[in-house]
Structure 1
Amino acid sequence: MARDTAVTRQKLLGAARQEFAALGVAGARVDRIAELAGVNKERVYGHFGSKEGLFAATVSAAMDELAEEVGKPGDDIAAWVGSVYDFHRERPELLRLLLWEALSCGGGELPGEQRRAEGYALKVDVLAGRLGVEPGPRAAVVLLSLIGLAAWPNAVPQLTRLILDSRLESADSAEVVRGVVVELATGLVKGVHETGTAE
């Protein structure tokens, strides 16, 4: 019975990821999610309470997947940034979910915000240690900037296409973007490390 419940929950989360990534919270339909998952619509409410509860669980599951696959910054921070870029390129749903979340939640508190904030605080501490700087606001902005470098080209693929397509002949734009993102991350990390050790 517990296994069936877990399987149903996973099916619903998978279906919800597709629906919410495409249509956001307002546009998603619980009956379509249930149909895609192959379960009764009432199961959504039984497992998640509401469409908003399902959306929060979907974002949380996608964030957990990113954390498991990419982890925290290691010794080679630029390589970590490359891994974040690869994750978002291969699975752009998380970025879409985060953009929809920003639109629907505005500046209000997010579901599971404390847990997510703690995860980022840990990443800031690890990054600060790797850079040899204090784990304060400066290190937090560096983490935000590194994530932005890795995520932005995949969050707005239309902008990436508009800027790059006329400048590329046969090269794969994703390879070019990834290479420059890692190069910029390397320079940023080097600059922060040098500035931090000089203070």
Structure 2
Amino acid sequence: MPYDSAATRARLLDAAYREFSERGLAGARVDRIAAVAQANKQAIYAYFGSKDDLFDAVMADRLSVLADSAPFSPDDLPGYAGALFDALTSAPDLMRLTRWRSLERDDVTDGEVESHLSKALALKAALDLPDDDTAVDVLEIVIALSTAWLTVAPGLKTAGGTDPSTRRKAHRAAVVAAATAIVGHFSGRS
């Protein structure tokens, strides 16, 4: 069977995603990643350079997957909020990965800044917002709304005895309603 470098790289990214989301950058071990990926440890260094670079590659890969599953639409911010909620609640490992990143590293890549800023500027134009800072604030608030379900204590998700599925649907509806209210507040539309 011929060697498939693209398949090896993909296996390494998948294994690293699991390892980093479970243990963070500091707790992750290159040996475990290689073993799970059924690859030589040296392949990690050949493909990615270092453990930090592998972490960055995993973040970029997973954020790309997230962007595909929850496409940003500046003309439908409530729809985006709902889609982002759905994507993140169906992939809680991604939220854990991003939380590890913010705990262990305070840097951002140029790609992350560009992606965030381009969304904010598109939002500014779509909603006729007064300035770039307001557009960034609106985007950040909607992202925070969409991720809140994954950041609260599990017991709060079913406070009052509501079953988890019903509670999750109600929370999603609240996220979309809040995003709708934000659009109305900042753009003068309802």
Normalised by the length of structure 2, the TM-score is 0.91
Does the 8 A contact of 2:145 with 2:175 survive in 1?
yes
Q: What is the aligned partner in structure 1 of residue 159 from structure 2?
A: 166
SS at structure 1 position matched to 2:72: coil
Q: What is the aligned partner in structure 2 of residue 14 from structure 1?
A: 14
**Where in structure 2 are there 5+ consecutive unaligned residues?**
none
Distance 1:169 1:69 in 2: 28
**Where in structure 1 are there 5+ consecutive unaligned residues?**
none
Distance 1:151 1:4 in 2: 37
Distance 1:91 1:120 in 2: 21
How far is 1:48 from its partner? Answer: 0.9
Q: What is the aligned partner in structure 2 of residue 186 from structure 1?
A: 180
Distance 1:134 1:125 in 2: 11
Percent of residue pairs bearing the same amino acid type: 31
Q: What is the aligned partner in structure 2 of residue 38 from structure 1?
A: 38
Q: What is the aligned partner in structure 2 of residue 101 from structure 1?
A: 101
Q: What is the aligned partner in structure 2 of residue 139 from structure 1?
A: 135
Q: What is the aligned partner in structure 1 of residue 113 from structure 2?
A: 117
- The residue type paired with residue 89 of structure 1 is T
Does the 8 A contact of 1:13 with 1:57 survive in 2?
yes
SS at structure 2 position matched to 1:167: coil
User: Structure 1 stretch 186-195 or stretch 136-145: which is displaced more?
Assistant: 186-195
Distance 2:74 2:188 in 1: 18
SS at structure 2 position matched to 1:71: coil
How far is 1:41 from its partner? Answer: 1.1
Normalised by the length of structure 1, the TM-score is 0.87
Count of matched residue pairs: 187
SS at structure 1 position matched to 2:136: helix
How far is 1:79 from its partner? Answer: 1.0
